[in-house]
């Protein structure tokens, strides 16, 4: 006979010797799939029979275990597997053969395992005294925690799943649902049918935010790992496949054509956000199960890490989720995401369409209480942990409708001529909006925007402080490339805060810092640190500007660059240490040369990627900030970095 065995269950981590064998076979016959193997133990054989609906009598006669067929050999094998596990102090994958009744051991190695099994085995072995705490932490791969945090496909259902296209694994998890092509249809389907859909878009924009929230998953034809769809989906903990370039999406006909298939609106598809695969039809999913072992591992990670972990969160719900995963603050609150809720977008558009400052201030006055309420929710959710609020960053064209139907509706709602809407949209259009009128450039052009946001932040903080909850506010100015830009913004923030303090006859401490996302900001960090009390590296834009790669278009040539070895990894997924990383190191060194206690963090998508977190530890950063569902991964990676350094 021949067989393959595991000292513990590789799928669940259960401390159960298990495996398969074949009579009158040798070598690789067990794993070749030519014959159906039998189970090694009686317990394993009974579990298999139950799953296959085989009676106990039939099992014993047709599919007996090795334990029953060769009891002496089984006893020896069981003793050896126990000895090997005690010696190597890890779960063992064992290959053996039996010749003329004699057991021969062929090889053993540390066995591969699922994320759930990885955590359980490490914690069990810690309790058994086989390994110590540090080894238990290092034994768990941070990236594999993803498997524990998101829904997954049912293994049985996956056997018949048909892949129709493959894109980028933009946000992990599993999702299945009917196809819709417009955000409002995703909202409508949830509201009217209580059914979450798969939102399929050529690419998403901030206008799609509500629909993305109501969808169960997102699929796009364009975009990379840091495209709008990918970043927002990860923040929501929602499954997303992006950059599936073979998709031919027809919005008018509401169909998808891909590799010989035609999928109409309402047809079901399924997404695997961990592999990028898209399946035809409905594939059953199952919820993630976070056991007590997971919590224990996270406590050990906190004990041994130096680097703090915060979350990128824009809503109280996201903040609460991040806090539950152990986030020690919010490292990035993108205030523009708040502008798309309910009637807020109307006030934003009213501000954009205003002819003068007075008109803009009228519209901003409507937004003020809404923003203040949002910030109060975030401060309460974080229970005294620091909250970094980024002032308005995207270009204004992202907030206006670009299709005639929506433009005419807006003209009607605002009681203005349709031509005025189209003229304003054309005026806002830019050849390269990501390098255009956005970030601090907006605040310096329209100071009243910075004033409104500052007032909302400070008033919210003071309201929450009154309830007895401590508040630590950090106001972050985006896209600074010149220290004068930051000085101008700081003056507006300080003057506005002083007005609020005077009105309230009270004060609170706050910090002003900036995102380092323009290469010039990194190399002139010594000047910027004269003004900024903290740096937060926005590595999405810093990577884009340093490498000259559009993060939304890189998918067109990235596979070829990876195949030819021009790039080792996608630089928007794994930090480019030799380019972007050197700018970060230089900025930290120069910044702290000016301001010794300068707090430095990272809030780009790299903040949740294990090797990038390790780099941040060695670069001397104080914290990383990432999507809520990446917080546990970052926490474990931070502990790994500290233990490796030690």
3-state secondary structure of 104: strand
Half-sphere exposure of 152 (CA within 13 A, CB side): 14
For residue 217, what are the CA distances in angstroms to 146, 170, 241? 16, 11, 8
Backbone φ and ψ for 611, nearest 5 degrees, come out as: -70, -30
C-alpha 309/C-alpha 598 separation (Å) is: 17
CA distance 45 to 39: 5
Distance between CA 175 and CA 284 in Å, rounded? 9
| Contacts with 439 (C-beta within 8 Å, 6 or more apart), sequence order | 393, 477, 478, 479, 480
d(CA 340, CA 345): 5
Bridge-partner residues for 97, per DSSP? 2, 104
308-312/623-626 β-pairing: parallel
Catalytic residue among 603, 606, 617, 640: 603
Give CA–CA dist 627/144, Å, rounded: 16
Q: CB-based contacts of 309: which residues, under 8 Å, 6+ apart?
A: 326, 327, 328, 623, 624, 625, 626, 631, 634, 635, 638
Residue 208: closest CA among 148, 264, 251: 251
Instruction: Tell the residue number behind the tokens 């915060």, with chain if given.
Output: 310
Instruction: Please tell me the number of Cα atoms within 13 Å of 93 on its side-chain side.
Output: 8
Question: In a 10 Å sphere around its CB, with 0-12 CB exposed, 13-18 middle and 19+ buried, how is residue 543 labelled?
Answer: buried
Annotation marks residue 228 as catalytic: yes
223 sits in the region (left: phi over 0; alpha: psi -120 to 50; else beta) called left
How many Å apart are CA 323 and CA 380, to the nearest integer?
11
CB atoms within 10 A of CB 139: 20
Q: Which residues pair with 517 in a beta bridge?
A: none
Which is the catalytic residue, given 108, 150, 228, 600?
228
Instruction: Using the structure block, give the residue that is written with the tokens 């996608």.
Output: 570
Q: Tell me, yes or no, if 603 is annotated catalytic.
A: yes
Strand partners, 96: 3, 105
CB 646 within 8 A of CB 339: no
What amino acid positions are annotated as catalytic residues? 228, 603
């Amino acid at each position: 006979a021949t067989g393959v065995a595991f000292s513990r269950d590789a799928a669940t981590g259960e401390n159960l010797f298990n495996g398969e064998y074949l009579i009158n076979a040798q070598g690789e016959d067990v794993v070749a799939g030519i014959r159906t193997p039998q189970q090694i133990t009686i317990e394993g054989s009974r579990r298999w029979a139950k799953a296959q609906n085989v009676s106990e009598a039939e099992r014993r006669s047709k599919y007996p275990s090795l334990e029953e067929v060769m009891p002496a050999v089984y006893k020896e094998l069981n003793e050896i597997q126990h000895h090997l596990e005690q010696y190597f102090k890890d779960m063992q994958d064992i290959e053996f053969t039996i010749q003329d009744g004699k057991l021969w051991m062929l090889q053993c190695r540390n066995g591969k395992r699922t994320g759930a099994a990885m955590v359980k085995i490490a914690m069990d072995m810690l309790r058994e005294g086989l390994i110590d705490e540090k080894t238990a932490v290092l034994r768990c791969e941070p990236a594999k925690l993803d498997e524990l945090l998101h829904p997954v496909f049912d293994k049985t259902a996956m056997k018949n799943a048909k892949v129709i296209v493959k894109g980028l694994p933009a946000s992990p998890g599993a999702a299945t649902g009917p196809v819709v092509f417009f955000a409002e249809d995703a909202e409508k389907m949830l509201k009217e049918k209580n059914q979450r859909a798969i939102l399929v878009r050529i690419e998403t924009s901030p206008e799609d935010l509500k629909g993305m929230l109501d969808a169960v998953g997102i699929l796009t034809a364009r975009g990379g790992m840091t495209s709008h769809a990918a970043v927002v989906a990860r923040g929501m903990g929602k499954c997303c496949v992006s950059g599936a370039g073979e998709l031919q999406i027809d919005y008018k006909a509401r169909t998808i054509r891909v590799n010989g298939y035609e999928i109409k609106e309402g047809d079901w598809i399924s997404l695997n956000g961990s592999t990028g695969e898209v399946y035809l039809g409905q594939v059953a999913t199952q919820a993630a199960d976070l056991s007590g072992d997971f919590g224990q591992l996270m406590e050990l990670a906190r004990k041994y890490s130096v680097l703090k972990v915060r979350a990128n969160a824009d809503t109280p719900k996201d903040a609460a989720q991040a806090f539950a995963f152990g986030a020690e603050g919010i490292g990035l609150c993108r205030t523009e995401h708040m502008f798309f809720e309910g009637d807020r977008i109307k006030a934003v558009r009213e501000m954009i369409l205003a002819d003068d400052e007075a008109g803009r201030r009228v519209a901003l006055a409507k937004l003020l209480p809404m923003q203040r309420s949002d910030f109060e929710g975030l401060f309460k959710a974080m229970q005294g942990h620091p909250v970094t609020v980024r002032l308005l960053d995207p270009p204004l064209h992202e907030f206006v409708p670009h299709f005639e139907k929506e433009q005419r509706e807006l003209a009607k709602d605002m009681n203005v001529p349709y031509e005025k809407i189209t003229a304003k949209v054309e005026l806002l259009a830019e050849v390269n909006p990501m390098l255009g009128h956005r970030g601090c450039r907006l605040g310096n052009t329209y100071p009243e925007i910075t004033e409104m946001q500052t007032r909302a932040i400070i008033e919210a903080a003071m309201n929450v402080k009154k309830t007895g909850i401590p508040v630590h506010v950090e106001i972050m100015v985006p896209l600074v490339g010149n220290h004068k830009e930051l000085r101008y913004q700081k003056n507006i923030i300080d003057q506005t805060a002083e007005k609020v303090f005077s009105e309230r006859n009270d004060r609170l401490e706050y910090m002003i810092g900036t995102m380092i996302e323009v290469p010039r900001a990194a190399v002139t960090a010594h000047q910027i640190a004269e003004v900024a009390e903290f740096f937060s590296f926005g590595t999405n834009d810093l990577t884009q500007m340093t490498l000259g790669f559009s993060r939304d278009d890189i998918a067109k040539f990235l596979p070829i660059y990876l195949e030819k070895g021009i790039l080792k990894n996608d630089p928007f997924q794994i930090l480019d240490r030799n380019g972007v990383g050197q700018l970060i190191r230089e900025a930290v060194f120069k910044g702290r040369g000016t301001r010794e206690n300068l707090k430095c963090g990272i809030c780009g998508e790299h903040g949740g990627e294990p090797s990038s977190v390790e780099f941040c530890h060695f670069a001397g950063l104080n914290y990383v900030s990432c999507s809520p569902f990446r917080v546990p991964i970052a926490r474990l990676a931070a502990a790994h970095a500290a233990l490796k350094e030690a």
